[in-house]
Structure 1
């Protein structure tokens, strides 16, 4: 598991969703853990780092319960940057 793989997984999962849909960070972690039912939790720091980087680059947005988040803090979902 690498940071690049986490960033790629975020963008790939979003590309498979309908416009306006989001992904859960744990979905990304499960994707990069390649089905290992325990390893996904270990992948979460990589996902959080990827979300921070992609947000800084303006490639994603973070939301929680319909509200846009300016930074990752607590629970969040990941969406496409241009859809809010």
Structure 2
């Protein structure tokens, strides 16, 4: 018998780690202007994907976030 969660069951994640992973999603979200992470200069960089995968496994992704985005809101002067 396995001691971990069953297939399809959420993996438990501590609240402090959920906050860290969500902050990482924000910090590494693609810029709508550049179409890449402004920290890593890669679309859906490894840090963003790592945080997303942990939140997805725990069933704790923020509303509206998918493996495609969202992009950061435009800054003043950007189009």
TM range (shorter): 0.3 to 0.5
Q: Between Structure 1 and Structure 2, which shows a larger proportion of strand residues?
A: 1
Q: Between Structure 1 and Structure 2, which shows a larger proportion of helix residues?
A: 1
TM-score (norm 1): 0.36
TM-score (norm 2): 0.38
